[in-house]
């Protein structure tokens, strides 16, 4: 199992839908993005899609690991690898949107991300279907950031 940069178009759509249920949204950031992935037995089992949004700032638009491979440290390895690659590209800051509750928030915080601001009604305004987790609907998103030092 190894982490490497790939073409974002190579990543299977069902994997990206694990993190973002909107195909339209995925299409909007997939083109010309940087993509870091992890493979097992020739299959892509995890991917992270990133784009520069400023001279020294990048945004993580999607990070996902195939469900059978989750909770085994692969996503943490992929995020660490991605942050290292961004630093090597002279990025100084990484930003992303995530839900205001759930294990994903803890996952990012364990990797040094902090809350920048609340995006009120983000999930209501940007997704046509309700996004439910643990029986609770996601309404607001958090904008997180991490400084790469």
Q: Is 47 in the site for ligand COA (CB under 6 A)?
A: no
- Select from 105, 110, 102, 107 the least CA-distant residue to 143: 105
Residue closer to ligand COA (CB basis): 90 or 113: 113
CB under 8 Å to 103, separation ≥6 — which residues? none
Q: Is 140 in the site for ligand COA (CB under 6 A)?
A: no
CB under 8 Å to 6, separation ≥6 — which residues? 35, 36, 37, 44, 47
The DSSP secondary structure of 36-53, one letter per residue, reads EEEEETTEEEEEEEEEE-
Here's the x/- map for ligand COA, 16-45, by CB under 6 A: it reads as --xx--------------------------
Here's the x/- map for ligand COA, 50-89, by CB under 6 A: it reads as -------------xxx----xxxxxxx-------------
Residues 91-120 touching ligand COA, rule: CB under 6 A, are 98, 103-104, 106-107, 110
Residue ranges in contact with ligand COA by CB under 6 A: 18-19, 63-65, 70-76, 98, 103-104, 106-107, 110
């Amino acid at each position: 199992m190894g982490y490497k940069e790939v073409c974002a178009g190579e990543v299977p759509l069902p994997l990206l839908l694990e993190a973002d249920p909107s195909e339209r949204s995925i299409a909007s950031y997939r083109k010309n993005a940087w993509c870091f992935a992890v493979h097992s037995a020739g299959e892509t089992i995890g991917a992270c899609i990133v784009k520069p949004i400023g001279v020294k700032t990048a945004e993580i638009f999607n990070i996902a690991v195939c469900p059978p491979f989750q909770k085994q440290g692969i996503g943490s390895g992929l995020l660490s690898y991605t942050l290292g690659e961004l630093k090597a590209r002279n990025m100084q800051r990484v930003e992303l949107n995530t839900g205001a509750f759930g294990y994903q928030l803890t996952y990012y915080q364990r990797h040094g991300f902090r809350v920048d601001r609340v995006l009120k009604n983000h999930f209501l305004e940007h997704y046509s279907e309700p996004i439910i987790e643990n029986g609770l609907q996601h309404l607001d998103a958090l904008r997180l950031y991490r400084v790469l030092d």
